Amino acid sequence: MAKEITDDDLELLEELGVEAEATPSGGRTAREQRIIAGFEEIKSFVLVHGRLPEHGENRDIFERLYAMRLDSIRASTECREVLKNLDADGLLGAEDEYESCCVQEEPSDEELLASLGVEATSKGDVTKLVHVRAREEIKAAEEIAQRNPCRDFENFRPVFESLQIDLQTGVRRTLKYKDNAEVKKGDLFILDGQKVVVADMGEPFVSDYGRPDRRLRVVYDNGTESDLLVRSLQRALNKDKNSRRISDTSIGPLFSDEDDDDDLPTGYIYVLRSKSDNPYVTANRSVIHKIGVTGGDVKHRVANAQKDPTYLLADVEIVATFKLANINRKRLEILLHKFFASARLDLELRDRFGFQVEPREWFLVPLPVIEEAIQKIMDGTIGNFRYDPQSARLETLN
């Protein structure tokens, strides 16, 4: 008794690039099963491409084969009778449209291929052609070749630039891609050394192997894009041993009961106010604050502020400190600075050697708003808010 092909068998066959058909059933003759199988391939083509297969030298050889097969099926009374209950999409067309040219004998795939000038290696094996590459090889080559220039790449350029900064600062991390892991709209990957964003996903459909799949719009950081299938992207990520998934902006727990390499036994968030006589700082002193995190004593840290460009080359006033236990200093500081990035102070100074410096840890934010943001970090709700520099307050994200 023939062994039934299982889902695991199909998965293995798919990875090997081998086409497989389910065990025929239902009491059909071998000829009827062949007619139905050929029609199912045409239906799959229509489902994937959203159109009927077409004739023409500029079309893929298998699309041309499907087009000729559909013509033959439509012209055959026998075929139409076998398929009449399987044609939910109306691919066969109206009966009277083809009645005048109906034939009783459906041409074989080999005869159809011969009419296209293609030779099969052996009778009954149309997937092995002398002058045509195997279907899986064609698909793989097309997926690479069909990368096109991304015409709206300017919309994606800031995404990739921000992504690079996030990776450098630790806001995002790269994680090992797990075989055949889920792919969603907005997912970010590194594939063949390029950063990749899944910009859009099409409607789900069932592939030739009876498996769910979807068409993707994938944009690459070199300004190109492609319309890979989900399973094609998964296979490419599986094949590339250096592929990585890029994490979202959730940078992990800041406070926990377990020690991490970057954790400090104790630490402080500190908020400083500058005593600089810079005209702009003087005019806005009450809302210009430096926000930082340290594992040491805050007073000791700012003792020589007047010599350090980080402190605007002036003494500072410590206006608030928040004592914390078991914190990840780097992640916490990154989170605070990213949250208030829209209000970063744009100020250029020259250090004592005459070199121009731009302090990056000063923000135009009222102290009560800073305190509110820190509280939301501690209770884990900061991801639901943003800072609006126009109204100088936290706003709930929609």
Q: Is a pLDDT exceeding 80 seen at residue 146?
A: no
In sequence order, what DSSP letters do the residues of 152-216 get, joined into one string?
Answer: THHHHHHHHHHHHHHHHHTSS-EEEPPTT----TT-EEEETTEEEEEEEE---EE-TTS-EE-BE
Quick one: pLDDT at residue 9? 55
Q: Is the pLDDT of residue 333 over 50?
A: yes
In this predicted structure, the answer to whether residue 252 has a pLDDT above a threshold of 50 is no
Going by the DSSP 8-state scheme, the letter that residue 291 receives in this structure is E
Give the model's pLDDT for residue 231: 87
- Which has the higher per-residue pLDDT, 179 or 99? 179
Higher pLDDT, 113 or 290: 290
What is this structure's pTM?
0.39
Mean pLDDT computed over 238-254: 72
Question: 387: pLDDT confidence band, cut at 50, 70 and 90?
Answer: very high
Burial class (CB in 10 A: 0-12, 13-18, 19+), 139: middle
Please compute the mean of the pLDDT values over residues 191-212 and round it to a whole number: 86
Q: Please state the φ and ψ torsions of residue 119, each to the nearest 5 degrees.
A: -105, 130
Pairing of the two strands 148-149 and 224-226: antiparallel
CA dihedral 236, 239, 241, 247 (to 10 degrees): 30
Kindly indicate the confidence band of residue 16, based on its pLDDT and cuts at 50, 70 and 90.
low
**What pLDDT is recorded for position 272?**
95
Structure confidence at residue 368 (pLDDT): 93
Please give the pLDDT value at position 28.
Answer: 75
pLDDT in tens, 105-128: 455 555 555 555 555 454 444 444
Q: What is the pLDDT of residue 112?
A: 55
Place of tokens 């199988």: 37
Model confidence band, residue 101 (pLDDT cutoffs 50, 70, 90): very low
Report pLDDT for 12: 54
Q: Give the burial class of 384: count Cβ atoms within 10 A of its Cβ; 0-12 exposed, 13-18 middle, 19 or more buried.
A: exposed
Contact 227, 217 (CB under 8 A): yes
Question: Which are the contacts of 181, defined by CB distance < 8 A and separation ≥ 6?
Answer: 234, 237, 245
User: Which is more confidently placed, 2 or 395?
Assistant: 395
Instruction: Please answer whether residues 291 and 336 qualify as being in contact, where contact means their C-beta atoms are separated by less than 8 angstroms.
Output: yes
Show me where the domains of the chain are located: 7-133, 146-246, 263-396
Between 340 and 21, whose confidence is greater?
Answer: 340
pLDDT tens profile 365-385: 999 999 999 888 877 777 778
**17 neighbors 88 (Cβ within 8 angstroms):** no
Calculate mean pLDDT across residues 144-165: 82
Which of the residue ranges 105-114, 162-171, 294-303 has the most confident prediction, judged by mean pLDDT?
294-303
Task: Label residue 6 by pLDDT band (50, 70, 90).
Answer: low
Q: Percentage of the chain with pLDDT > 70? A: 71
pLDDT of residue 274: 93
Mean pLDDT of 66-92: 85
Structural element, H or E, at residue 220: strand 216-220
